[in-house]
């Protein structure tokens, strides 16, 4: 198991934002990608953040935040919606890996949100994310700006609230100040992550 000390929630968030600044400016450091790092984390992991993001191939959290092997615990699902499996994964990161930060990250031009907004027929298991996205769309019809991007932000906020209040594990960690749950938005063009 790694012996590094775990940052506090706000410190972990600052590390991510600094990494995103490097990514945006094209000054990536590509940390923790060496053979030595692989050997160091082979026996255990201590990720500084658990990130629930979209499965979209244009949204790789490790790259966006300029992090390496063992730095992030990433859960990816279309539309960054929450379900029992993704919530269980986040609980594992919080309870067993002592991860201090949980981030729900939406992004611009989300295809999953766009499909629901444009009433594209979604069959099979794809239909499972329609209710959450549809609720977000209904909550943003009066907002100025792009419907899909606005709805993606609302989905992320709704999911972050669900995570932060999830009983019995995460809500207790949040109340104790041991974990912080934040919402973010990634712009595909600029590469910038903004907190919501």
Task: List domains and CATH numbers for the chain.
Answer: 9-195 (3.40.1050.10)
Nearest CA to 154 out of 140, 166, 164 is that of 140
State how far the alpha carbon of 99 is from the alpha carbons of 54, 80, 124, 158, 192, in Å.
20, 19, 34, 21, 23
Q: What three-state secondary structure class fits 63?
A: helix
Whether the predicted pLDDT of 142 surpasses 90: no
Q: Does 145 or 56 have the greater pLDDT score?
A: 56
**pLDDT grade, residue 63 (50/70/90)?**
very high
Q: Is the pLDDT of residue 2 over 90?
A: no
Rounded to an integer, what distance in angstroms lies between the CA atom of residue 189 and that of residue 105?
16
**Bridge pairing between strands 101-107 and 193-195:** unpaired
pLDDT tier at 4, thresholds 50, 70, 90: low
Confidence band for 79, pLDDT divided at 50, 70 and 90: very high
Mean pLDDT of the residues in the chain: 94
Render pLDDT for 82-123 as a digit per residue (tens, 0 to 9).
Answer: 999 999 999 999 999 999 999 999 999 999 999 999 999 999
């Amino acid at each position: 198991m790694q012996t590094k000390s775990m940052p506090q929630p706000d410190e972990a968030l600052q590390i991510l934002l600094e990494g995103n600044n490097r990514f945006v400016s094209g000054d990536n450091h590509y940390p923790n990608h060496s053979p030595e790092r692989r050997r160091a984390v082979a026996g255990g992991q201590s990720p500084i953040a658990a990130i629930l993001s979209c499965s979209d191939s244009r949204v790789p959290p490790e790259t966006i935040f300029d992090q390496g092997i063992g730095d992030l615990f990433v859960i990816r699902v279309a539309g960054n919606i929450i379900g029992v499996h993704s919530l269980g994964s986040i609980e594992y990161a919080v309870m067993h890996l002592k991860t201090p930060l949980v981030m729900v990250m939406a992004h611009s031009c989300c295809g999953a949100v766009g499909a629901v907004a444009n009433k594209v027929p979604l069959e099979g298991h794809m239909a499972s994310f329609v209710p959450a996205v549809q609720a977000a769309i209904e909550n943003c019809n009066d907002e100025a700006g792009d419907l899909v991007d606005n709805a993606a932000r609302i989905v992320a906020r709704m999911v972050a609230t669900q995570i932060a209040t999830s009983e019995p594990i995460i809500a207790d960690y949040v109340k104790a100040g041991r974990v912080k749950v934040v919402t973010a938005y990634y712009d595909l063009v600029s590469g910038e992550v903004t907190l919501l």
